[in-house]
Amino acid sequence: MSPCLHKTLNLNQNTNPMEIKHYDDGKKGHFKAIEGDVQAGIMTYVWAGDKFIIEHTIGNPDFKGIGKKLLDEAVTFARNNNSKIIPLCPFAKKMFDKHEEIHDVLAQ
């Protein structure tokens, strides 16, 4: 897989900024959050036509709120690419249920 998106976010006051990297090979992909040498979290997905299915989200408990940051990246990616999201992952499903403002990218 080759990286198609790389973003550095300053999510905390540590000297190592948080990076969220996006990898996509056209069939599957993931958003991975890294701070220094530590993986803060990962969200995986697979493509289903012009939609992508969020399959799994894993967050390091030392990084509170990282799952939402990863979902925010997925939502931004979907908006920028006119895609829709199918939240199979229980965490992503819960976030879509709670946050109406992201329903524009929710697959019907």
Say which CATH number the domain at 8 has. 3.40.630.30
pLDDT tens for each residue of 34-88: 999 999 999 999 999 999 999 999 999 999 999 999 999 999 999 999 999 999 9
User: Would you give the end-to-end CA distance of the chain in angstroms?
Assistant: 29
Domain tally for the chain? 1
Q: Which is higher by pLDDT, 16 or 29?
A: 29
pLDDT tens for each residue of 78-88: 999 999 999 99
Q: What is the pLDDT of residue 15?
A: 59
Task: Give the structural domain span for 96.
Answer: 3-105
Beta strands 3-9 and 84-87 are unpaired
